Structure formats: structure tokens, C-alpha cells
Structure 1
Amino acid sequence: MMAHVFVCDGIALTTVARQQHILITGWAAEVVRFPVFCVIHALYCCSISLNTHRNLLEISHKICVRIHLHLESRSERLCSTEDCIPGTGTYLRHGYIFASLTGYVLRKNEGEELPVISVVRETETQLLPDVGAIVTCKVTSINPRFAKVHILYVGSTPLKDRFRGTIRKEDVRATEKDKVETYKSFRPGDIVLAKVISLGDVQSNYLLTTAENELGVVVAHSEAGAQMVPISWCEMQCPRTHAKEFRKVARVQPEYLQA
């Protein structure tokens, strides 16, 4: 099963046409005709109109990214590292890129020298953590070098599968990195807002950072079991015992308060 899909600024078009040719016209007067064999779900809203009489999908933005989708199974060899850059759902072995899960292969060319190749599940293409995404995580363990987390949300969207992440000591904050102590930044059970800085694969975790004012611990409980209150950018206090504990505290933005 193969579909050649043109995406505008991250927007995938929705269509249920089967074995038909759909004509797509872009703002830059670029016209492409392609066969569609599967349903591609819209990820974001944009100005798209469907002319049923002329079979035209008209888009208000310039077509800038081309994505090719086809189904691959886990551990399938995709291509050489000379041809693509590994992305989500892939891993490297002996100079080749392999699929780490069964799903659809995406090849994105966004002006880079080489396209980025990723593998995503059909029903969860919009739910995978991506570089630059803000994620909500739960700290599972810490050591002097890093904190291990489980990623629970991408933005405000809960994840069905469990993804693991790592916040390294040097990625905790932007200043005085040499003075960072992991146990004074996070504790197991803390809920943390972080940003994805590197994609994971079958052999490693997502690399995350909290080196921004808006990122860090948003929920933490004291030894007495009470939810602590932030009193500075580096401390939280138990309302029951008034004991203070060190944390890398996030300055939470309104859009993340509900999540």
C-alpha cells in the first residue's frame, strides 16, 4: 500500500479516494497529481476547500514538504545512512536505518541536505513526541548524571503507548550547568514539563530538556504526602509541615495548567 501525500506547513490532507487521481493545487501554482490508497487524517486546520465538481483540493499555503507513506514491519531495513537521516521509530545498525516498530514510513524533506525517515503507527501519527514538542512526564528514577522519565502527554494530548525519556544533568537549566545537582532538581514521582531535543529509538530514550523558565517541575509531593507549593524558581514548600525542598521549578503557562 503506497500513498504520495503533499503536506503544507505540517498539514496532512484528509481523503478517502481509493485508486483515483486527486489533483492538488498550491498557492505557488504547483500542481501535482497522485494516487491515493489510504486515509490520511488532517493534523491541523488551514484554508482547504474541496471542489467536488472539478475534483480539486485547493490549499491556501505553499506546498513545501513532500511525504511518502508505505507500510513496513518491525526490524525491516529501510535505507542507508547516506540516503536519509534517522527519525522517530527507527534505529541505526552498521550504517543502515531499521524500523523499530510496525507502521508507516515517512520521508520528510524540509530543505535539509538529506530527508528525515521515520516510522509511525497508522492511528498515532499525530501522537508521537517530536523534536521541539512540549511533553508532560513523570520522573521514575534519578542518579547524579540524569533523571529517567515516562512521557505521558504531548502538549495536551495523552499518549496511548509508554515512551521513555532522559533529562541529562547538563540539560536541566540554561545557566550554571556545572552547578546542577540532579537530586536538587527532580525526585521520583514529580510531574515535569520538558521539551524534546532528540528522538528516541528501539535502543535509547528521548532526550529532553528543562532549560527554559517555563519548563521543569509542575507537581511534586513532600515526604508528608502533600502537594508542594512553589516558592521560588528552585524551591517548593510543603503546606502541611512547611518543609522546603529543592526543585527545578517551572513557570507554568496557562495552556498547561489543565493538563
Structure 2
Amino acid sequence: MAETICIPGERLGSVDHYKAGEGTYVRHGFIFSNLAGYKRTTPVDDGEIPELTVVSRKQSSVIPEVRSVVTVKILAVNTKFCSCAILGVEGKSLRETFRGMIRREDIRATEKDKVEVYKSFRPGDIVLARVLSLGDARSYLLTTAENELGVVLAQSEAGVNLVPISWCEMICPKTHVKELRKVAKVQPDYIQTT
């Protein structure tokens, strides 16, 4: 079993000669490293294609991938999109945050032209979202256009956690003021009982 050191984004080989394994991804017919670590080629029997994997000597880190559900904190909101920090992937906390962006057209599945970003999210909201694409060098593109995705935790101006009352409203239990949000219909899988 051959091992060599590699870094994220390093081209490891062609899909014509290898299968992509753990710690790798395929782009344009080539296999690339997804993390810093050691490249391993698994020996195979005659006629089989060897598998390339990358393993880290450190604790493996979680990276947001396309279609994965992420937990984000909204950082800033404007008329076209909101920017956020990705805090967790599929229920696993990240050691460092990634930047994300939810565009206006990706907030809801219906009536996309009527969506107003500031009526869906506010800075500080904790949101469940799905990764649409890797985006550009600055951020991942995210969506909340599913019933299960949206705001799961938000605070009112009085500093109290808001309580959802519909798919688009939350209420402050202290002041009874209603605030507009794109509320997530939280599934039992995401609720932890204490």
C-alpha cells in the first residue's frame, strides 16, 4: 500500500485509472484530494481498478457537501441575499466555520418573486439550510426552499427566544410581538431531548 503526502485540491489521478475513495472528489475526469493527509492506493486483484483515498493523521474534519443539511447563523441581510456562517454539517459541529449565502430566490419553493429577505431572516437567527452548490471562492450557495428548512432559533428584540406560530411568523412570549421569519418545520430527527 503506497502512501504519499497530499494537500486539499491536489490532483491525484484520473478516473480512467482509479476509483475515488474517502477524502477525495471527482471533477472533470480527475480525482482530487479533499483534505490534507496521506494518499493511499489500495491494492486490487487483476482486472479491478485500484481505489484512491486520502486519510488524515488528525481527527477527520467535516466539510459541507452538495445536498447536505447545514446549521448556519445569519450574519447580514440585504435585499438580494443574506450571508451566513456554517456552524455544523448533518448535526456535526465544525472546528472552523465556512461562509455561506442564501439568495432571495432560494428562500422559498413557491412565490419566489414575492420573497423579501428581511421578512425571512434577521442577523443572529439560527437556520437549517441545504447546500445547493460549492459557490465561488468566498461562500457556499445554500437554500431553505423546503418545509423542513428555515429558522429554528431566533431572538426577539427583548432578548427572548421566539416561538413559531406559523410557517412565516414567530412570536415573542414576553412582549407578544409577532415577527416575520421563514420558519422551519423541524423534524423529530433534529430535536434533541434533554
CA distance in 1, matches of 2:151, 2:142: 13
CA distance in structure 2 between the partners assigned to 1:191 and 1:107 by the alignment: 29
Do the aligned residues in 2 keep the contact of 1:72 with 1:105 (CA within 8 Å)?
A: no
Q: 2:32 aligns with which of 117, 137, 144?
A: 117
Q: Residue 108 of structure 1: CA displacement?
A: 3.6
Aligned to 2:49: none
Is the Cα–Cα contact under 8 Å of residues 142 and 183 in structure 1 kept in the other structure? yes
* Residue identity matched to 1:221: Q
- 8 Å Cα contact 2:8-2:35 kept in structure 1: no
Identity %: 52
**Does the 8 Å CA contact 1:144/1:181 hold for their aligned counterparts?**
yes
Equivalent residue for 1:228?
162
**Contact 2:81–2:102 under 8 Å retained in 1:** yes
| Displacement of 1:205 | 0.2
Amino acid at match of 1:178: D
Q: What SS does the aligned partner of 2:142 have?
A: strand
Contact 1:219 / 1:228 at 8 angstroms: preserved in 2? yes
Q: Does 1:37 align with 2:9?
A: no
Q: Alignment length, in residue pairs? A: 166
Is 1:162 aligned to 2:97, yes or no? yes
Query: In the TM superposition, what whole-angstrom CA distance separates every residue of 1:5-30 from its partner, at most 9, and x where no partner exists?
Result: xxxxxxxxxxxxxxxxxxxxxxxxxx
C-alpha separation in 2, matches of 1:166 and 1:150: 8
Q: Is the 8 A contact 2:61 2:95 kept in 1?
A: no
Q: Which amino acid in structure 2 is aligned with residue 256 of structure 1? A: Y
Aligned pair partner of 1:136 in 67, 71, 80: 71
The match for 1:146 among 72, 81, 97 is: 81
Give 5+ residue unaligned stretches, structure 2.
Answer: 16-21, 37-55
Pairing of 1:238-257 with structure 2 (within 5 A): 238-257=172-191
TM-score (norm. length: structure 1): 0.58
Q: Do structure 1's residue 106 and structure 2's residue 21 form an aligned pair?
A: no
Paired residue for 2:110?
A: 175
Contact between 1:127 and 1:154, CA under 8 Å: does it hold in 2?
Answer: yes
Q: Is the 8 A contact 1:71 1:105 kept in 2?
A: no
Structure 1 residue matching 2:182: 3-state secondary structure: coil
CA RMSD of aligned residues (A): 2.7
Provide the rounded CA distance (Å) in 2 between the counterparts of 1:118 and 1:148: 27
User: Helix, strand or coil for the counterpart of 2:34?
Assistant: strand
In structure 1, what residue type is equivalent to 2:3?
F
C-alpha separation between the residues in 2 aligned to 1:211 and 1:118?
Answer: 31
Distance in 2 between the 1:240 and 1:165 partners? Answer: 32
Structure 1 stretches of at least 4 aligned residues deviating more than 6 Å after TM superposition: none
Question: 1 or 2 for the larger relative contact order (CA 8 Å, sep ≥6)?
Answer: 2
Letter in 1 for 2:172: C
Return the letter of the residue paired with 1:37: E
Q: 1:124 to 1:178 in 2, by over 3 A?
A: farther
Gaps of 5+ in 1: 1-34, 39-69, 85-103
Aligned-pair CA distance for 1:106: 2.1
Structure ID, larger Rg: 1
Q: Secondary structure at the match of 1:148?
A: strand
CA distance in 2, matches of 1:231, 1:213: 14
